[in-house]
Amino acid sequence: MAPVEYGEAEMKEIYTLVDLKSWKPKAKTPIRLGVFGNPVAHSLSPEMQNAALENCGLPMRYARFQIGAGELPAALELLPELNFVGVNLTVPHKIAALKLMTEVDESARQAGAVNTIKIEDGKLRGFNTDGKGFSRAIREEFSVDLRDLRVLVLGAGGAARAIALECAKENSERLVLANRDFEKAKQLADELRSFFGEARVLGPVPRLQAIPWDEAAFRFQIANVDLVVNATPVGLHHADAAPISARLLAPHLMVYDTVYSSRQTALISAAVEAGARAANGLSMLLHQGALGFEIWFDRAAPLNVMRKALL
């Protein structure tokens, strides 16, 4: 098989594990960063990170890698010898990666998920910037802090875990967790229980609660929350309906869809239609990416350059 010449003027849209196995450094600006996921074609991280690398005069590039769930250990193992600086992880790798790290930062240990890996002295160091990125995104989009909000999180996977943990750490007024697999929501609520020891607020409504994925439960909770966060992949595909019924949405809500796409997701459209404030996941992508850049290079990220690249 011919060696893959990476970092040439024409980068491939998507690389694979097979490419990594025959990787051969050649170019002046080699690929030394990337995002691993499946699917990964939709990821805008390369646009954002390559703009930052260029702006900072760092002679390397960032690429997309389609890596299946079973391929992650082999792909990660190759990175130190291929002189990678780091990678981001997206669906479905964030939780599985935790046990593949040499060292795990507190942010990833607490979230139970890794979204940023830094490779240093042959070691894989796992971090999680999703929670902080989410918090900054909410402040930017809605001019409000998580501590002042009652939050309903849809999902209990890697992104939802980081978001829920951030809400807990920032002492949100309420946190309600809903997941298709109810047991996972319940388990996440149990893990976060110690953050919600203070008195209940708003009468009989518990500050922390896991609820089943059904319309009646959503209807009751929506009257008692300010922010609804979609942390499921529902919306990634153009034909996807909103993860919860459009008729549940109300004008008092802020709706944050962590999914970002070139067109409005069904959830965002429904929220706007209902008179709610709504934002998509681009701002979270920006802030989690900027925090990742800072981990890799120990320097401030050029936030405005990254934002412009995304828009």
The set of catalytic residues is 94
CB 208 within 8 A of CB 193: yes
* Candidate list 85, 232, 242, 268; residue touching ligand NDP; CB under 6 A: 232
Residues 103-122 as x/- pattern, contact with ligand NDP by CB under 6 A: --------------------
- Phi and psi dihedrals of 27, rounded to 5? -75, 165
180 binds ligand NDP (CB under 6 A): yes
130 binds ligand NDP (CB under 6 A): yes
- In whole angstroms, what is the distance from residue 146 CA to residue 153 CA? 13
- In whole angstroms, what is the distance from residue 161 CA to residue 114 CA? 11
Distances (CA, A) of 282 to 38, 46, 125, 143, 159: 19, 13, 25, 16, 14
288 binds ligand NDP (CB under 6 A): yes
Residue 39, C-beta contacts closer than 8 angstroms, at least 6 positions apart: 66, 91, 236
88 binds ligand NDP (CB under 6 A): no
218 binds ligand NDP (CB under 6 A): no
CB of 197 to ligand NDP, least distance (A): 26
184 binds ligand NDP (CB under 6 A): yes
* Nearer Cβ to ligand NDP (213/297): 213
- In whole angstroms, what is the distance from residue 7 CA to residue 95 CA? 29
- Please count the other Cβ atoms lying within 10 Å of the Cβ belonging to residue 217: 16
Kindly report whether the peptide bond that precedes residue 25 is cis, defined as omega within 30 degrees of 0: no
Distances (CA, A) of 258 to 38, 134, 190, 194: 17, 9, 24, 26
92 binds ligand NDP (CB under 6 A): yes
132 binds ligand NDP (CB under 6 A): no
- Phi and psi dihedrals of 37, rounded to 5? -170, 175
What is the residue-wise DSSP string for 176-218?
Answer: EEE-SSHHHHHHHHHHHGGGG-SPPSSTTS-SEEEE-SSHHHH
CB of 311 to ligand NDP, least distance (A): 14
Residues 149-178 as x/- pattern, contact with ligand NDP by CB under 6 A: ------xxxxxx------------------
- In whole angstroms, what is the distance from residue 15 CA to residue 101 CA? 22
* Nearer Cβ to ligand NDP (23/62): 62
* Nearer Cβ to ligand NDP (107/232): 232
Structure tokens at 11: 């980068």
* Nearer Cβ to ligand NDP (4/33): 33
Structure tokens at 126: 């796992």
* Nearer Cβ to ligand NDP (108/159): 159
Residues 258-287 as x/- pattern, contact with ligand NDP by CB under 6 A: xxx--------------------x--xx--
Which residue stretch of 9-17, 193-201, 256-264, 293-301 sits at the interface with ligand NDP (rule: CB under 6 A)? Answer: 256-264
* Candidate list 49, 128, 179, 221; residue touching ligand NDP; CB under 6 A: 179
CB of 258 to ligand NDP, least distance (A): 4
**Given the rule CB under 6 A, which residues bind ligand NDP?**
91-92, 94-95, 130, 155-160, 179-181, 184, 231-234, 236, 243, 258-260, 281, 284-285, 288
